[in-house]
A and B are shown apart, each in its own frame.
Chain A
Amino acid sequence: MSILGRNVLPLTVHASVLAPDWPWGFWSHMIIFVVIVMAFVILMAMGFIWFERRVISRYQIRIGPNRIGPFGLLQPVADVIKILIKEDIVPLNVDKIIHLLAPAVAIIPAIMVFAVIPFSNGASLVDLNIGILYIVAISSISIVGQVMAGWGSNNKYALISAMRVIAQVVSYEIPLALSIIGVVLFAGTLSMNGIVQQQSIPFILLQPLGFIIYFLASLAEVNRTPFDLLEAEGEIVAGYNIEYSGFKFALFYLTEYTEAIAISTIITTLYLAGWKGPFLPPVLWFLIKVFAVFTLIIWVRATLPRLRIDQVMGFAWKFLLPLAFINLLITGVQVVAWPDLSQWVIVAVNIVLSAVLIVAFSRMFRTKGDKVEA
Chain B
Amino acid sequence: MALKTETFILNAGPQHPSTHGVFRMRLTLDGEVIQDVEPVFGYLHRGIEKLAEGLTYPQDIVFTDRLDYLASMTNNQAYVVAVEKLAGIQAPERAEYLRVIMAELMRISSHLMAVGFLLNDLGAFLTPLLYMYREREKILDLFDMVCGQRLTYNYMRIGGVSQDIPEEFIPALKKYIDSLPGFINEYEQLLATNEIVLIRTKNVGILTKESAINYSAAGPVLRGSGVKWDIRKADPYSVYERFKFEVPVGSVGDIYDRYRVRIEEMHQSIAIIRQAMEQLPQGEIQAKIPKVLRPPKGEAYGHIEGPKGELGFYLVSDGSTNPYRLHVRPPSLINLTALKELLVGVKIADAMAIFGSIDICVGEVDR
Contact = CB atoms under 8 A, between A and B. Distances in A.
Question: Within the complex, are A and B direct neighbours (CB within 8 Å)?
Answer: yes
Interface of A: 56, 59-62, 156-157, 160, 163-164, 225-226, 228-229, 232-237, 301-311, 362, 365-369, 371-374
Given A236-B348, A374-B264, A308 B127 contact: no
B157 to A, nearest CB: 35
B260 interface: yes
Given A303-B127, A310-B347, A372 B194 contact: no
Contact of B127 (A232, A302, A310): A302
B350 A308 contact: yes
A308 B248 contact: no
B349 A305 contact: no
B197 interface: yes
Given A61-B131, A156-B8, A372-B250, A305 B347 contact: no
B256 interface: yes
B126 interface: yes
A305 B197 contact: yes
Contact of A305 (B8, B134, B200, B260): B200
16 contacts: A59-B127, A157-B10, A160-B29, A160-B32, A163-B31, A233-B17, A234-B352, A235-B348, A235-B352, A236-B348, A237-B16, A303-B127, A306-B123, A307-B199, A308-B347, A373-B248
A306 B122 contact: yes
A237, A311, A365, A369 interface centre (most CB from chain B within 10 Å)? A369
Interface residues of B, number: 47
B164 interface: no
B173 to A, nearest CB: 23
Contact of B199 (A156, A367, A374): A367
Contact of B196 (A160, A226, A229): A226
A306 B193 contact: no
Contact of A234 (B120, B131, B134, B246): B120
B125 A309 contact: no
Contacts of B193: 369
Interface of B: 8, 10, 16-18, 29, 31-32, 119-127, 130-131, 134, 192-200, 202, 246, 248-251, 256-257, 260-261, 264, 268, 347-352
B199 A234 contact: no
Contacts of A156: 8, 10
Contacts of A367: 195, 198-199, 202
A61 B32 contact: no
Given A61-B131, A235-B18, A373-B249, A304 B196 contact: yes
B288 to A, nearest CB: 41
A305 B264 contact: no
Given A234-B122, A369-B202, 12 more contacts: A56-B125, A60-B126, A164-B32, A234-B120, A237-B17, A304-B194, A306-B200, A306-B349, A366-B195, A367-B199, A373-B249, A374-B248
Given A302-B127, A366-B195, A369-B256, A309 B32 contact: yes
